[in-house]
Structure 1
Amino acid sequence: MVKKKILIVEDEESLLKLESILLTSKGYSVTGVADGVSALEQVVLIKPDLIVLDIMLPGMDGFEVCRIIKQNPETAHIPVMMLTAKKSSQDCERGMAAGASAYVTKPFKSAKIIEIIQELLSQ
């Protein structure tokens, strides 16, 4: 079976490692980057099956990264799960308006993240 590819965009190194370990242990092929520009480069290079995207990133925020991914016909189909500390309903609305398939706030439960990812990948 071919491993599903997940791109994690998270600038906090400890969280990036935690998320990578969690998803790798579930059998996914994981690539991690720490900023929006690198995320956009990796989306084109590895063509991930799903993107886990933080919002508060250096340079370009996750809302902008998501918008760019969704505006490109070659990447618009990729589900984006925003995983962020931004909890307000306005932030959630902005995320969904930018094209996110799911909006999850930190701190998160690993089981919930896996459940959402499996759901998004099965669509």
Structure 2
Amino acid sequence: MHLAHDPAARPAAQISFDQFLTVDIRVGTIVAVEPFPEARKPAFKLTIDFGAGIGTKRSSAQLTQNYEADSLVGRQVAGVVNFPPRQIGKFMSEVLTLGFPDDGGNVVLFSPDKKVPNGARLF
């Protein structure tokens, strides 16, 4: 099991608050979901609206175990928006969509429990 999925794993090394502030985590709304059959592990291609300041970004997410594509459209999610784009096969992922592992190690999305404005920053 990967350490990130092990609930008993030790916490990561301490960082300063200023280091934390360099990670830009924003909320956005999923506006489109496409299959990603060429991915090594089953995944979806997400289009996420992060509001006027950031705009619409794309992300690859391994969500197929816990979510149907249709159930994702309109859902708010959290994502890291200031990582450099990452090439995944022929797809360019522009943000890291955040989630936690369930008991089987499958992704459960991290999202606010109430609607907030797209582009709102985690603090």
Length-normalised TM-score, structure 2: 0.25
- Which one has the bigger helix percentage? 1
| Structure whose alpha-carbon radius of gyration is higher | 2
The one of the two structures with greater contact order (alpha-carbon pairs below 8 A, sep at least 6) is 2
Length-normalised TM-score, structure 1: 0.25
- Which one has the bigger strand percentage? 2
